[in-house]
Amino acid sequence: MTSPLHDEILTLEQQLLQPQYCGSSDFLQRVLAEDFVEFGQSGQRFHRNQIIELLCSGGDDTDLEIEEFEIAKLDTHTALATYRAASRRTACPVLRSSPWQKHPQRRWQLRFHQGTPTAD
């Protein structure tokens, strides 16, 4: 059984994989925290503006399915999402982690993201 928190963060993570959302600068500016950083599966480090530019240019693989999604509530305003992202085109799944923080405007923002290729 899932919780409202689980469902809300899962929806946000899924939206970040859908072109109509991840290609929208307005959506990304609302969802990504000002100090957002990503450690990509490539080993590169990206800041908020770099990720927005990359995603809006169509330069990222969004052909992924979320598997084994879990959410851990760290405190009243912070949750950690962990999951496997499997590409429909390649056989190498990626482990992903994303801490989310809820702001006074009652919306969640992504603070950090990391993708790590798996051995299988």
pLDDT at 105: 79
Beta bridge partners of 81: 71, 98
- pTM of the predicted protein model: 0.90
Q: In what order do the strands lie in the sheet with 94-102?
A: 45-47, 32-39, 108-117, 94-102, 78-87, 64-75
In 1-120, DSSP assigns E strands to 32-39, 45-47, 64-75, 78-87, 94-102, 108-117
The CATH number of 4-117 is 3.10.450.50
Which pLDDT does position 119 carry in this prediction?
A: 76
**Secondary structure letter of residue 28 according to DSSP:** H
pLDDT at 59: 63
10 Å CB burial of residue 32 (0-12, 13-18, 19+) is buried
* pLDDT string in tens for the chain (120-residue length): 789 999 999 999 999 999 899 899 999 999 999 999 999 888 899 999 999 999 998 766 567 899 999 999 999 999 999 999 987 777 788 999 999 999 887 899 999 999 998 876
